[in-house]
Structure 1
Amino acid sequence: MARRLEEEYDYLFKIVLIGDSGVGKSNLLSRFTRNEFCLESKSTIGVEFATRTLQVEGRTVKAQIWDTAGQERYRAITSAYYRGALGALLVYDVTKPTTFENVGRWLKELRDHADSNIVIMLIGNKTDLKHLRAVATEDAQTFSEKEGLSFLETSALEATNVEKAFQTILSEIYRIISKKSISSDEPGASTASAAGIKEGKTIVVAANQEPATKKACCSS
């Protein structure tokens, strides 16, 4: 019976949150998975993750979302966690131009370490701080179109577009996976293929490594 309860989802999709420290990755994670937001928060150290099960195109999908620290000293650690990710939310802060300027560097790192078919969405967070906006929506749209990314602006504080962002990327992953599922059992299939996630099979992320867990909500 316990085993049956563990298998009450059709797919397990791993999503990574990447971007500079302080852009609000952890609050996007907590808003989506627990509907929580914490103003007084500390930077993520290492890696943590949370899950949420939801319906995507009529199937039950368990989203496993990994929050990677944005600080330089942790990048060597977190790069290992890109492996097996089917989607990535690349986050910047609309009030801090430097975080948008660094998006290109994060995108390169992601493409160097992640599966070539990973679905990537660019996220401009903290739109609630309208009076402090320093990155134009048009600039981000232009960049995302050039790089072939989807794009949304969000506010974790006001819960604006957070649900939409995750639903959109999960739906896109599902469409890609369902097309691949017929040939997913072939020898040598990619970690990020349907073979790794169909029927609730858990993706092995990194051997002998456990994510750092934190009490209460935090913002990276």
Structure 2
Amino acid sequence: MSGITWHYVLKFIITGDAAVGKSSLLIRLTDQRFLANPDPTLGVEFGSKLITIPEEDKIVKLQCWDTAGTESFRSITRSYYRGAAGCLLVYDVTSRKSFTNTRSWLADVREHADPHLTCILVGNKVDLCEGDLNGRRREVPTEEAELWAKEEGLLFVEASAKSGQNVEDAFVRAASDILSKIRRGVFDDDRSPGVKLSKPNGDLALEQGRAKQACCS
């Protein structure tokens, strides 16, 4: 799909505890498939995707950095927060601990990312506790997560990387909010590293897939 022009490049980070499904969400977005047992992310991994935002009449390129959820890589992953315009803060709806820990992840993001960053709280793995008597018990009620997101000024959605439910919608909603901020002058095209305006006649062969990034020497 060559010759596609995008209007903006938006830098996104995906953060949260290990094993909440961050890598699976990225693969679902970029490849439209589900990877049941992805290898643990070591440092960061990268994926990109073109999406259309109809209400803004814009095409944006998402540059998504999937960060490791273990403490040993935290100093490395923090460096990728810098300048991010969008963030998916992910927890597992069947893990109370992963939801509790989103507070710490959010504090990190707010310390190191763009101060005007748009963050969407994503409750992943809803497929594990819906419509299956043998499924896992939900530990985080929708209403509780939604209330906390509202208190913190976050967008909120529940999703499933396995089924694809609300995965692209999470990115679209966050991107729409960023474009709204650009329109209102909150983000500066020239000074916000997480928001880049397309160069005239800038074309792109649709880039999808993922490339592992070196995390250490």
TM bucket (normalised to shorter chain) is 0.7 to 0.9
Name the residue aligned to 1:54: 51
Tell me which of 12, 25, 44 is aligned to 2:22: 25
Name the residue aligned to 2:155: 150
Give the C-alpha shift of residue 178 in structure 1: 2.5
Name the residue aligned to 1:204: none
Q: Is the 8 A contact 1:95 1:134 kept in 2?
A: yes
Query: Which amino acid in structure 2 is aligned with residue 121 of structure 1?
Result: I
Report SS of the residue matched to 1:180: coil
Report SS of the residue matched to 1:21: coil
Within 5 Å, which residues of 2 pair with 1:1-220? 5=3, 8-56=5-53, 57-130=56-129, 131-132=135-136, 133-180=138-185, 184-185=189-190, 189-192=191-194, 196-200=195-199, 212=213
| TM-score normalized by the length of structure 1 | 0.82
Deviations 1:46-104 (A, max 9, x none): 11111111212221211111100001100000101011210000000011110001011
Q: Distance in 2 between matches of 1:211 and 1:155?
A: 23
Q: Distance in 2 between matches of 1:200 and 1:134?
A: 47
Q: From the two aligned structures, give the one with the greater strand fraction.
A: 2
Q: Distance in 1 between matches of 2:188 and 2:100?
A: 39
Amino-acid identity (%): 41
Q: Distance in 1 between matches of 2:187 and 2:116?
A: 17
Query: Which amino acid in structure 1 is aligned with residue 118 of structure 2?
Result: V
Q: Distance in 2 between matches of 1:16 and 1:123?
A: 13
Q: Distance in 1 between matches of 2:150 and 2:58?
A: 29
Give the C-alpha shift of residue 179 in structure 1: 2.5
Give the C-alpha shift of residue 211 in structure 1: 5.3
Report SS of the residue matched to 1:106: helix
Report SS of the residue matched to 2:106: helix
Q: Distance in 2 between matches of 1:105 and 1:181?
A: 26
Q: Distance in 1 between matches of 2:199 and 2:101?
A: 35
What value does the CA root-mean-square deviation take over the aligned residues? 2.3
Deviations 1:5-52 (A, max 9, x none): 5x8211100110000000000010000111011112221111111111
- The structure-2 alpha-carbon separation of the partners of 1:86 and 1:97, relative to structure 1 and needing over 3 Å to count, comes to same
Number of matched pairs: 196
- The structure-2 alpha-carbon separation of the partners of 1:59 and 1:139, relative to structure 1 and needing over 3 Å to count, comes to same
Q: Could you list the runs of 5+ residues in structure 1 that have no partner in the other structure?
A: 202-209, 214-220
Report SS of the residue matched to 2:126: coil
Q: Distance in 2 between matches of 1:123 and 1:11?
A: 23
| TM-score normalized by the length of structure 2 | 0.84
Report SS of the residue matched to 2:59: strand
Q: Is the 8 A contact 2:116 2:186 kept in 1?
A: no
Q: Is the 8 A contact 2:94 2:140 kept in 1?
A: yes
